[in-house]
């Protein structure tokens, strides 16, 4: 299973005339991303989406998210093995990302850690499973200075994707194939990728010199790969 955080999915939107609509835009993107891959599940608080096994209305940063996810997976008989988690990068102003994705004391990270440590029969990130996080300055800075960071580096291998290699990110690569349709829905892919660089390096901090995993001037995504799990787990 592949999780897409911060994205809306509405089965009734596909096929309608293109218009500026976050619901339609994300649905187009997810259809394109998931077309031949494992089952995907979008997670968002947006209320306008129709009921679907491929959508979970929940706050992925809250302490109730894991409970909501396990309940949804059980209800729809979905795969419990998570191979990929993607946090959306479109429309990523620095303050907004920090306040929204960093809410509940970076509960997003806490939930990702719980999924990485969970075991069957509950939803869990498999060994080798990948988590992609965008890195605008305040959000990134909050991640590496949060109470969760040491545990993140213990459980995941940390790498970065820079702006020139953005298409190594599966959602970006997929978005590039339908960027004209996305533009008709009000967003420009290249502009949103540029935001991840511009919104960060205008700010400097003495703390960055003490952070081992400092992201570099052109890095725009953090790639977390789950280390080997208990060999008794059966994914």
What pLDDT shows up at residue 16?
Answer: 54
What pLDDT shows up at residue 1?
Answer: 93
Q: Say if residues 171 and 89 touch (Cβ distance below 8 Å).
A: yes
SS3 (DSSP) at 206:
helix
CB neighbours (10 Å) of residue 204?
A: 9
**Rounded to 5 degrees, what angle do the CA atoms 12, 14, 15 make?**
110
Closest of 126, 33, 51, 138 to residue 84, by C-alpha: 126
Residue 12 lies in a domain: yes
Residue 231 lies in a domain: no
What pLDDT shows up at residue 15?
Answer: 58
Residue 234 lies in a domain: no
Domain limits at 25? 2-226
* Three-state secondary structure of 77-141: CCCCEEEEEEECCCCCCHHHHHHHHCHHHHHHHHHHHHHHHCCCCCCEEEEEEEEEEECCHHHHH
Closest of 26, 25, 4, 223 to residue 128, by C-alpha: 223
What pLDDT shows up at residue 18?
Answer: 55
Residue 201 lies in a domain: yes
Question: How would you classify the pairing of strands 40-44 and 124-134?
Answer: unpaired
Residue 11 lies in a domain: yes
What pLDDT shows up at residue 184?
Answer: 85
What pLDDT shows up at residue 227?
Answer: 92
Residue 233 lies in a domain: no
Q: Say if residues 163 and 199 touch (Cβ distance below 8 Å).
A: no
What pLDDT shows up at residue 136?
Answer: 84
What pLDDT shows up at residue 104?
Answer: 74
Beta bridge partners, 161, equal 221
What pLDDT shows up at residue 59?
Answer: 92
Q: Chunk the chain into consecutive blocks of 10 residues (it has 235) and report each block's average pLDDT, rounded to whole numbers.
A: 91 61 85 84 81 89 93 93 94 75 83 92 92 88 86 92 94 95 89 78 48 70 84 40
Residue 129 lies in a domain: yes
Number of domains in the chain: 1
Q: Angle formed by the axes of helices 137-144 and 103-117, to 10°?
A: 60
What pLDDT shows up at residue 234?
Answer: 41
CATH code at 109? Answer: 3.40.50
Residue 107 lies in a domain: yes
């Amino acid at each position: 299973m592949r999780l897409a955080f911060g994205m809306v999915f509405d089965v009734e939107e596909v096929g309608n005339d293109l218009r500026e609509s976050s619901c339609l835009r994300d649905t187009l993107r997810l259809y394109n991303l998931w077309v031949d891959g494992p089952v995907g599940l979008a997670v968002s608080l947006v209320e306008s989406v129709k009921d679907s096994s491929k959508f979970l209305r929940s706050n992925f940063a809250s302490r109730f998210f894991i409970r909501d996810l396990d309940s949804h997976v059980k209800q729809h008989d979905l795969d419990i093995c998570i191979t990929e988690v993607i946090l959306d990068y479109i429309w990523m102003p620095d303050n907004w990302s920090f306040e929204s994705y960093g809410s509940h004391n970076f509960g997003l990270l806490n939930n990702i850690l719980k999924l990485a440590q969970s075991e069957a029969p509950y939803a869990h990130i498999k060994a080798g499973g990948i988590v992609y996080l965008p890195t605008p300055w305040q959000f990134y800075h909050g991640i590496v200075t949060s109470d969760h960071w040491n545990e993140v580096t213990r459980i995941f291998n940390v790498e970065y994707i820079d702006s020139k290699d953005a298409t190594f990110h599966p959602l970006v690569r997929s978005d590039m194939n339908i960027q004209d349709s996305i533009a008709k829905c009000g967003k420009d892919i290249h502009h949103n990728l540029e935001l991840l660089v511009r919104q960060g390096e205008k700010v400097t901090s003495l703390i960055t010199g003490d952070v081992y995993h400092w992201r570099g001037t052109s890095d725009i995504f953090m790639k977390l790969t789950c280390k080997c799990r208990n060999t008794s787990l059966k994914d």
